[in-house]
Amino acid sequence: MSYENLLVEREENLAIVTINRPKVLNALNGDVIRELGLVADELEGDDSVRVVIITGSGEKAFVAGADIAFMSKLSPMEAMRFARLGQAVMRKIENLSKPVIAAINGFALGGGNELAMSCDIRVASERAKFGQPEVQLGIIAGFGGTQRLTRLVNPGLAKEILYTADQYDAETAHKMGLVNHVVPAEELLNFCKGMAKRIAARGPVAVSLTKEAINAGLEMDLDKAIGVEADLFGLSFTTEDRKEGIAAFLEKRKPAFQNK
């Protein structure tokens, strides 16, 4: 499929999705959000893709937030629908059956930081800047920021970020636990591809079940969550990948997983 606002490249088992509106720092309007939903569906249904990387076009921005010009024309009901649409798309990305890495190449503000937080793993370039500037516009975060930020960093820190609208450099975001790694700008994509390829070489069903256990468990108490883990552990024993993975270890060779 081709998209107006996204570039989608394949490299071995990886898909790299680039949000491509550099003139407005890759700001998210309704069309971009809808296309992100479509690409998520496309990649979900493509068994040849094992890991997805999301990044932004140009050197300046990952995503500088929801498109402010677009939002300036929304009625309250349209604004609510826009928030719900973005939330549904980000939830879809969060619950994709394969890992998603955000390669944060510049500004990740407002909806951009919210998109990054819906990914499994965040890697920042040294040039990246983070923040939730919505209250500066007299509005609030609407793509899950008030909830995911609170879960990702501690609630006090999340409140400070959301109340002050301050911007944070990549090192500070790393110290807060918002990003896993900070790397030089020119190494960002290769670093993410390296990690994605290591993940793609592992048992794909097992990686997917691991993601499912973690995501489901985050919404349960520990007793229920470890119950889900045990169920999915048992399920992993039904797979061809488990046979192959264990046989390869015992035969001292590399496994050739088939994703089944």
- Spatial separation of the C-alpha atoms in residues 14 and 202, rounded to whole Å: 13
Contact 147, 205 (CB under 8 A): no
Verify binding: residue 144, ligand HXC, rule CB under 6 A: no
Q: Please report whether residue 128 would count as binding ligand HXC according to CB under 6 A.
A: no
* Binding span for ligand HXC by CB under 6 A among 23-31, 151-159, 229-237, 242-250: 23-31
* E strand intervals along the chain: 6-11, 14-19, 51-56, 61-63, 100-104, 107-109, 121-125, 129-131, 168-169, 181-183
Contact region with ligand HXC (CB under 6 A), list: 22-30, 92-100, 116-124, 226-234: 22-30
Number of residues written out for the chain: 260
- Single out the residue of 35, 120, 134, 241 in contact with ligand HXC (rule: CB under 6 A): 134
Does 133 participate in binding ligand HXC (rule CB under 6 A)? yes
Residue 134 designated active-site: yes
Catalytic residue selected from 9, 59, 134, 186: 134
Secondary structure (DSSP) of 124-180: EETT-EEE-GGGGGT----SSHHHHHHHHS-HHHHHHHHHH---EEHHHHHHHTS-S
186 is catalytic: no
Q: Which of 114, 160, 171, 240 is labelled catalytic?
A: 114
**Interface region with ligand HXC, contact rule CB under 6 A, candidates 119-127, 138-146, 196-204, 214-222:** 138-146
Q: Which x/- pattern over 160-199 shows residues binding ligand HXC (rule: CB under 6 A)?
A: ----------------------------------------
Report the site for ligand HXC in 69-98 (rule: CB under 6 A): 69, 82-83, 86
Q: Which of 249, 235, 246 lies closest to 206, judged by CA?
A: 235
Site for ligand HXC in 37-66 (CB under 6 A): 64-66
Closest C-alpha to 140, from 69, 91, 79? 79
Indicate which residues carry an active-site annotation: 114, 134
